[in-house]
Chains A and B, each alone.
Chain A
Amino acid sequence: MKKVKWIVGALVWTLLAAGPMAAAGTLDEVRAKGVVVVGVNPGVAGFSMPDEKGVWKGLDVDTAKAVAAAVLGDANKVKYVALTAVQRLPALQSKEVDVLCRNTTITLTRETVNGLNFVHPNYYDGQGFLIHKKMGVKNAKQLRGATVCTLPGTTTEMNAADYFRKNGMPWKPVVIESNAELNKAFFAGRCDALTSDASQLAAVRSVAPNPDDYILLPEIISKEPLAPVVRHGDDQWYDIVNWVVMALIEAEELGITSKNVDEMLKSTDPQIQRFLGVTPGLGKALGLDEKWAFNIVKQVGNYGEVFDRNVGPKTPLKLERGLNDLWTRGGLMYSFPFR
């Protein structure tokens, strides 16, 4: 009996001792590994998706690259872990990934109950409606009695139900399990409107047999601020990821792009000098190299470049900047002061 107690005791102590030992800061762990482990979506056009060579591309992927550029000085030192919607939060909690860049909406319960910290949003999305142009409908209030195609069990479905109930309009939901089938049903005319996140609707519209036959209604019926996520309890790592997203925006505000960043090093503007680490201080404050912001802009670009490359008007998604434009141009992208 005594022996058993000994073994159990030893096991318990090992487990207890293993806890604090592994609890070194995420920054140190990332430096030791030499790679940032990032959870991404297995496939959402424009945000994170592999190309035909198996290279990850997208807005979330570029955000992850910016973190790697800032922390390790090399935007390619990222290990991508594809996670489903169900897997994403446990994977972060169990330390399988260092940061989650997986189009995750900031909500109160996720921050509190799930023990996560969301940084500054890297994309403001919202739910909209895509309709057949020949319906002659100009806004969502005219969708009284419409049949609406939607995915089951998502916030999308609930948001739509809320919206129609709030406005006292009857509607007929057509619930279809897979995205591909959903789009087909919509194009075939089985439903009057298709509802999903506006960025996704743009992708759907771009692959329509004749894209001009469909229009996106102007109403956005829900707020979906998408942001990278880190765990509770590591404030330094939270600061880093947060200010990496800020740096992408700040670079655009300051007019620094991946092409002119080398010349900008000679700029006399004190703001730019501080930002690029010519005047040291900001890097040290974050625990990073003074060149951290320079590396981000040089290797990834500023927010505008990232947006245009992945989801902008020249891509199949053809999204306008809208809410994601700089605050100076009427959007919500607003970087806090770098000083």
Chain B
Amino acid sequence: MKQAVPAGELKPPVTHIGIIGWTKTNLFDGVFNSILTLVTLFFLWKVVPPLFRWAFLDSAWHTTGQACREAAGACWSIISINYRFILFGFYPYEEQWRPLLAMLILFGLLFYSRNREHWKKSLAYAWIIGLFTMGLLMTGGILGLPPVESTQWGGLPLTLLLAVFGLTAAYPLGVMLALGRRSRMTGVKVLCVLYIELIRGVPLISLLFMSSIIFPLFLPEGVTFNKILRAQVAIILFTAAYIAEVIRGGLQGMARGQYEAAESMGLNYYQTMRLVILPQALKIVIPPTVSILISAFKDTSLVVIIALFDLLKTTQSVLSNPEWMGFSREAYVFVAILYFLGCFSMSNYSRRLEKELSKGD
């Protein structure tokens, strides 16, 4: 009297699914891979627990420098005690909500602009209003906000200011230079080639030095330009030359037929570039452009050498205080995280943009 057991769905053997199956296919697939896995595990076992211990268990989170010296682990107190100076520099202590708010507006706008569906005229107005508000918050002087001179700006807002304005101003300039370099008008072409090659022939540091030390000596006595503006201009000029070369690569990558097609449609030079060539050329060069933007973002830290207190300089300044001397690891880890967040989100966004733009292909 056997009752037939309904043959349910037969499950694959345990060794092929679940955790065991996953480890088998991914970690212990063959002798060589098994050895690699074991070696890696060994290194992780050697490195992670002490690191964890250093960073979390033995660390001091909000103490004096003296207590930090006695603690065995990391001294995060250098950040928790000094974070406001590291982030905002010499901005008056009571007024530091203003740069904070300005940065939040910037992040909000950047976040909203991520989505290409939001790219409308209204967004352009939002940016103009946003930038204006940020400038107002930073400088003050009206609406009961005490004025704060730009010499007192520092820390993260300064880094972002140099980066965002540097990149947005350098991009159109770079496009124009690239077009100029491929122009049939000899004068324009020579000028653009000269500019690009001269700028690319010197390191950014020398440009910063020129703008901050030599340039003022040529000015009539008593006329001085803002230090931040001088550095900003140097960064824009430098980045533009590099962007121009990348974009030229994109322009040269366009098939001859595209130009001819545009011409046969009766489009003039401006229309050809605006409607046919640039949209395609700029799309091709998204990856190299982004890598230039990322390196330009990191290059802003070079303003350290002209004693502008950007994020890196404020951190170093804290490190030269006798109370916190010697905790450079912790401080630089903190700064590295901030820079990483900036760079990673840029490269992430570029990948996404690339994917969206290549949907039609």
- A residues within 8 Å of B by Cβ? 15, 18-19, 22-23, 29, 42-46, 49-55, 79-84, 86-87, 90-91, 93-96, 179-180, 183-184, 203-204, 206-207, 209, 315-317
Contacts and interface: CB of A to CB of B under 8 A. Distances in A.
B85 A203 contact: no
Nearest to A179: B320
Given A94-B224, A207-B325, A52 B217 contact: no
A128 B214 CA distance: 35
B221 A23 contact: yes
B222 interface: yes
Contacts of B248: none
Nearest to A97: B224
Contacts of A86: 209, 213
Contact of B220 (A15, A83, A90, A317): A15
A82 B325 CA distance: 20
B149 to A, nearest CB: 7
B85 to A, nearest CB: 5
Interface stretch (B138-146, B193-201, B302-310): B302-310
Nearest to B318: A52
Contacts of B69: 207, 209
A83 B322 contact: no
A55 B84 CA distance: 12
A314 to B, nearest CB: 13
A43 B316 contact: yes
Interface string B92-117: 11000000000000000000000000
A29 B307 CA distance: 25
B341 interface: no
Interface in B57-109: 69, 81-82, 84-85, 88-93
Contact of A82 (B149, B307, B320, B321): B307
A96 B85 contact: no
A321 to B, nearest CB: 19
B337 interface: no
Contacts of B220: 15, 18-19, 22
A90 B320 contact: no
A183 B326 contact: yes
Contacts of B222: 18, 22, 29, 95
Q: Which secondary structure dominates where chain B touches chain A?
A: helix
A183 B325 contact: yes
Interface string B215-232: 011011111100100000
Contacts of A44: 320
B186 interface: no
B212 interface: yes
Given A54-B93, A90-B213, A94-B221, 12 more contacts: A19-B221, A22-B223, A42-B309, A43-B320, A49-B320, A52-B318, A54-B152, A79-B149, A83-B307, A183-B325, A207-B69, A317-B322
A49 B321 contact: yes
A206 B90 CA distance: 26
A177 to B, nearest CB: 13
A93 B217 contact: yes
B84 A53 contact: yes
Interface in B31-51: none
Contacts of B323: 316
A78 B222 CA distance: 18
Nearest to B66: A316
Contacts of A209: 69
B217 A50 contact: no
B319 interface: yes
B328 interface: yes
A52 B81 contact: yes
Interface string B281-324: 00000000000000000000000011101000100111111110
Nearest to B217: A94
Given A15-B220, A54-B93, A84 B149 contact: no
25 contacts: A18-B222, A19-B220, A19-B221, A22-B221, A42-B307, A44-B320, A45-B321, A46-B322, A49-B320, A50-B89, A54-B91, A55-B93, A82-B307, A83-B307, A84-B305, A84-B306, A84-B307, A86-B209, A87-B306, A90-B217, A94-B221, A183-B326, A203-B325, A207-B69, A315-B322
B320 A81 contact: no
Contacts of B217: 90, 93-94
A90 B85 contact: no
Q: Which of A42, A54, A81, A96 has the most CB of B within 10 A?
A: A54
A49 B321 CA distance: 7
B151 interface: yes
A87 B322 contact: no
Contacts of B317: 42-43, 49-50
B154 to A, nearest CB: 8
A29 B221 CA distance: 12
B217 to A, nearest CB: 5
